[in-house]
Amino acid sequence: MKHPFRWLLGGQAISALGSQVTFMALPLIAVTLLDSNPLHMGILGALDNLPYLLFGLFVGSLVDRRRRRPLMIASDLLRALAVLTIPVAFLVDGITFTHLCLVAFVVGLGNLVFDVACQAQMPDIVGDDGDLVQANGALQTTSGIASLTAPGLVGVFISTVGAPLAMLIDAFSYLISAASLRMIGPDSSTATADATVWEDVKTGVSSVVRDNRLLGLTGTGAAVSLGMNAAFSVLMVFLARELHVSTIGIGLVFLAIALLGATGALTANHLAKAVGAGRVLLCGPVIAAMGLVCMALAGHVTTPLLLIYLGAGLCGWGIMTSQALAAGLRQAFAPEEIRGRVLGTMRFVEWGIMPVGALLGGFAGQLLGVAPAVAFSGALVATGSVWVLTTGLARLHSVPIP
């Protein structure tokens, strides 16, 4: 593994640790301090990913027009500042639901810019002789390993100091991520501005639509994003209110997701070589969907926690295995000169649909109940396999070198 990639890997591992705090703390603040209902939780989850829908197409153009690493550093600093406002507001007794929504939106905007810029630069950081699936798997695995200790520890930490003050950890982790990016060395990316922004957007969209492989990856990613965000928007309410799982117990649920997810990401490259990349892409969403259905049925058995942890593990393994593989395929299939625009377009669809999923989960939880909403989310995730079948990705044997 090359020296520049190690700096990126280390910084993202620490940032992932901090992000777990905000991932748990924001909804817990909404539920415990502000007594938010399932619809409010859906709105909060939607705002976190709304920037992907609003700005996803344009960020791809921005990434190709600017040097990518400074954009990543600026995104880290923006997110650190946004997260820091929560503990400050708590200390002056000024937390409101509107404030939570604003922080979720700003953090989501920073996530968008960082994600597209990082994905576009990955082949340059890894190098021509690097393995993109292995590198992406390492990022996913390191993030997952960082998350292994985070959920349980975060649950204890939140129980001790409270969710608002716990978010100081996330602010600090973004600063460490920014510092690690400075250590990578010279930025080899070049800025291009030969066309207008709208022409850039058109180039990105047409490239995805015309390439059946990119179209299939976009479709399956969107289906998984839709279903998982529908599930996560009501999962906290389901665990805390209906099953009366403690804060530490909720942390352990996400620990199970992270543990099996890290295992899946770590083995994705070897599994793809053994059985074929297409089969891994095909099975991932189905296994994740089975996990969500298991969790939804937990209230109907005598040992609900066992079924919850089993479902969480299946969900984590299915999602992270296919995600690590899909990330390498996206970077390999996208031409270098328009990689930012292509990946921006794909992120616009895959992540832009997340707010729709969060709102859909909130409405389903309000109308059907939270357990049926989790099961419904599993059905949505499973449709990701349809895209793999209909676009020919299921026949893919290996990951090409870009």
In a domain, 401, yes or no: no
- Please calculate the CA angle 223-292-399 and round it to the nearest 5 degrees: 45
In a domain, 402, yes or no: no
Q: At what angle do helices 168-182 and 68-91 cross, to 10 degrees?
A: 160
Q: At what angle do helices 354-368 and 212-237 cross, to 10 degrees?
A: 40
In a domain, 190, yes or no: no
In a domain, 377, yes or no: yes
* Residue 140 CA from chain centroid, whole number: 10
The helix, strand and coil proportions of the chain, stated in percent and rounded to the nearest 5, come to 85, 0, 15
Give the contacts of 24 (CB within 8 A, at least 6 positions apart): 151, 154, 155, 158, 163, 250, 251, 254
pLDDT for 43 equals 84
pLDDT for 311 equals 94
Burial class of 204 by CB neighbour count within 10 A (0 to 12, 13 to 18, 19+): buried
The CA distance from 347 to 369, in Å, is 30
In a domain, 109, yes or no: yes
Q: By residue range, what is the domain housing residue 381?
A: 3-184+198-395
Query: Pick from 78, 77, 70, 86: which is nearest to 22 by CA?
Result: 86
pLDDT for 215 equals 92
Spans of the chain below 50 pLDDT? none
Q: How many residues does the chain have?
A: 402
Q: Are 388 and 216 in contact (CB under 8 A)?
A: yes
Q: Identify the CATH number of the domain in which residue 207 sits.
A: 1.20.1250.20
Q: Are 247 and 158 in contact (CB under 8 A)?
A: yes
In a domain, 168, yes or no: yes
pLDDT for 264 equals 87
In a domain, 123, yes or no: yes
pTM over 0.75: no
The CA distance from 287 to 290, in Å, is 5
What total of structural domains would you count in the chain?
A: 1
pLDDT for 148 equals 59
Q: Are 69 and 11 in contact (CB under 8 A)?
A: no
In a domain, 189, yes or no: no
